[in-house]
Structures are given as C-alpha cells and as structure tokens.
Structure 1
Amino acid sequence: MNSLQIQNFFEILRAANPSPQTELEYASVFELLTAVLLSAQATDVGVNKATRRLFPIANTPQKILALGLAGLSEQIRTIGLYHSKARHLLATCQILIDQHQGQVPRSRAALEALPGVGRKTANVVLNVAFGEPTMAVDTHLFRVSNRTGLAPGKTPLAVEMGLLKRIPPEFMVDAHHWLILHGRYVCKARQPLCSVCNVANDCDHGRRLQSAID
C-alpha cells in the first residue's frame, strides 16, 4: 500500500466507526489490565463472561489478593490457562501494591515488569487507558497488516514498528481498534469477506483479487 492508499484506508475505517472501543468490558484501569492479562489465547467474549463474575466481588489489587489462588482460579476457570493466569494476576496485584500504591503504572517498562504482562498487553493498556499511540499486535493486526500490505513483517515487533512508521499521526490513537475490529469481523483468517469490504480498493489483497476477476 502506498501513502495515499493508507490515508484512504483509515479515512474509510474512521467514517464507518468514528470512536472505536475495545470489546473488553472494564470500568477502571485496573479492570482493563486484568481483562487484557486474562485475554491471552482467549476471546474477548470469554474474558467478559469471566470478569462479569469476578469484578463485582474483586476489582482492586487488594480484593484480588484476598481471594487467594483457589478463589481467583474458581472465578476465572472458564478461561483457557486460568490457573497460570491466576498466579500471574496475584503476583501482579502484589507488585502494584508494593511498588505502585495499588495503581496501574503508566510507563511501558513498569507495565512489562508485571508478571503475565508482555509488550502486547502493555501496548493495550497504554493505548486504551492512557491514550498513547501504541500498536498491540495480536493475530488480527498481524494478519491484516500483512494481507493488506499496510505494514508487512515476519514478526509482531516488525509489524508494530511498520505500523508506527506508516500510519498517519491523525489515525494513530484509534488505529489499533480499527485494525482489530476489521480483522475480527471482515478480514478474517480463513475466509476474508472481500466482497463486502469497504477498504478493498486500497488493499493489496483486494486489488489482486479484482485484477484476477478482470
């Protein structure tokens, strides 16, 4: 994709969804961090199902710690890898209390120092909670970036760096959401819905398909 196509691509996505939001349900920065930590190898729908049980009884580091490993594991047992995630969340809560006055830190280094929090999770929190122009490259962003030609790369970090370089500044804060939603509902892994895609004309894959038809 060239710069004009990238501009058109995001203008179309913005027009269709001017204020994109994460599909994870949360009411505080700590709840967001918890939900994202639990979302590894799990769907947002599955995470929301678990946090609807968890958050009404424990939505602060202190309350999560009070549940203990058995209690927390019981609350999130429907999520894949729930036992290891429970251990990571408990350790994270202890660090938040000991080192950050119970608050979620705003720096990347501090976030990535939390158990179970990698670069992708840190990017989500920085973007969604604090409005930082970051790119959390999950499977959707990785696929969309490569398939469309927006920011091809062999690794998530390469794609992230490409996105940060190629996306115009005016779209940066919301681009993460637009790309995730586009990958989740339109540019699907097995059968992308190119026939109904409103950005197909600016996408390398879409243009190749149209050339083959012509």
Structure 2
Amino acid sequence: MSAAQAARFVEALAVANPAPKTELDFTSPYTLLVAVALSAQATDVSVNKATATLFAEAATPEAMVALGEEGLARHIRSIGLWKGKAKNVIALSQQLIEKHGGAVPPDRAALEALPGVGRKTANVVLNVAFGEEAMAVDTHIFRLGNRTGLAPGKTPREVEDGLMKRVPGSLLRDAHHWLILHGRYICKARLPECWHCVAREACNYGDKVLWPPGRAAK
C-alpha cells in the first residue's frame, strides 16, 4: 500500500470517528497503566467491571501496595491470568513509589522497566496519558495491518514501525484508537464486515466480504 493510499485509509476512519478514545476506564495515568496491564488476553469490558471496584479502593500506587496481592485478587479473579497480573501490579506499584515518587513516568524505557509492562502497554500509556504519537499494536491492529496491506509485518514491532511511517503525521496521535476500534468492531478476525467499512475503497484485502452472510447482492 502506498503512502497516499494509507493516508486515505486512515482519513476515512478519522472522518467516521473524529474523537476516538480508549474503551478502558481510568482516572489518571496510574489507573490507566493498571487497566492496560490487566487487559492482556482479556476484554476491556471485563477489565472495566473489575476496576470499577478496584479503583474505588485503590487508585494510587500507595493504596495498591497497601491492598496487597490478595486484596487485589478479590477484584480481578474474573480476568484471565489474574494471579500473575496481581503480582505484577503490586510490584510495579512498589517500583513507582521507590523510583518515581509514586508517579507514572512519561518515558518509554522507565515504563518498560516496570514489572509486567511491555512495549504495547508502554505505547498505550504514552499515547493516552501523555499525548505522544505512539502506536500500540495488539492482535486487532496486527491483523488489520497485514490484512489490509496498511502495514504488513511478521511481528508486532514490524507492523508498528510500518504504521509509524505510513500514517500521516497529523493523524498519528489518534491512529492507535481508530485502528484498534476498526479491528475490534469491523475488520474482525473471523469475518471482516467489509459491507459497512468506511475505508473499504483504500483496502487491499482481496477477499472482501461485501454482503452480510445470508444476504444476496442486490
């Protein structure tokens, strides 16, 4: 896909959703960091349900450490991999207190040094909390980048680098939201709903599904 075509693709998403935002509930950089850490292999809906009670009790690193792993576990047992996530959230909260004065650092290296925080999580925090032009590649964006030709790659990092090069600079800040929402609700894994995709004309996918299953073309 050419740069011009990539621009048309993302611009179509921008027109359809001019004010995109994350679907995770948060009130601060810290609660965002925790929510994203909990969202690995879990839906945003399940995370929001858990954090509604969790953040009412512990919305700061100090309160989270005081809550402890068992106290945290009471809130997140419905989320996949909750044991490991509870351990990491307490550990990263402790590290924030000890090394960053309880604040979430607006720095990639410092974020990725926190327990359980990888590049994708760091990118979300940098983008959403600090307004950086960062691209967090999850399974939805990885699929979309390859399927559409927008940014093909064998690894999430290759797709990320491709998107950072091809998405117009003026759209980079919000592109992460447009792409993840498009992959989640339109360009789905099993059946892409091309029949109501606003970016269809700029997409290189060769097997577009132009009509809903069971409905004949008119």
Normalised-by-shorter TM-score class:
over 0.9
Letter in 1 for 2:75: Q
CA distance in 2 between counterparts of 1:82 and 1:51 reads 13
Matched residue count: 211
Shift of 1:75: 1.3
Q: What TM-score do the two structures reach when normalised by structure 2?
A: 0.94
- Secondary structure of 2:10 counterpart: helix
What is the 5 A alignment of 1:1-214? Answer: 1-205=1-205
Gapped runs of 5+ residues in structure 2?
211-216
Letter in 2 for 1:76: I
CA distance in 1 between counterparts of 2:156 and 2:204 reads 20
Q: What stretches of structure 1 move > 4 A for 4+ residues in a row?
A: 206-210
- Secondary structure of 1:55 counterpart: helix
Residue deviations 1:6-26, cap 9 Å, x none? 121121111111110000000
Residue deviations 1:83-114, cap 9 Å, x none? 11000000001100000000000100000000
Residue deviations 1:135-172, cap 9 Å, x none? 11100000000000000000001111111111110110
CA distance in 1 between counterparts of 2:208 and 2:196 reads 15
Shift of 1:69: 1.3
Residue deviations 1:43-64, cap 9 Å, x none? 1001000000100111000111
Q: What TM-score do the two structures reach when normalised by structure 1?
A: 0.95
Calculate the aligned-residue CA RMSD, in Å: 1.4
CA distance in 2 between counterparts of 1:209 and 1:87 reads 43
Residue deviations 1:159-192, cap 9 Å, x none? 1111111111011000000000000000000000
CA distance in 1 between counterparts of 2:207 and 2:15 reads 21
8 Å Cα contact 2:9/2:199 also seen in 1: yes
8 Å Cα contact 1:200/1:206 also seen in 2: no
Gapped runs of 5+ residues in structure 1?
none
Counterpart residue number, 2:213: none
- Secondary structure of 2:51 counterpart: helix
CA distance in 1 between counterparts of 2:27 and 2:117 reads 19
Shift of 1:207: 7.8
Identify which range, 64-73 or 145-154, moves more after superposition. 64-73
CA distance in 1 between counterparts of 2:52 and 2:93 reads 19
CA distance in 2 between counterparts of 1:181 and 1:48 reads 17
- Secondary structure of 1:5 counterpart: helix
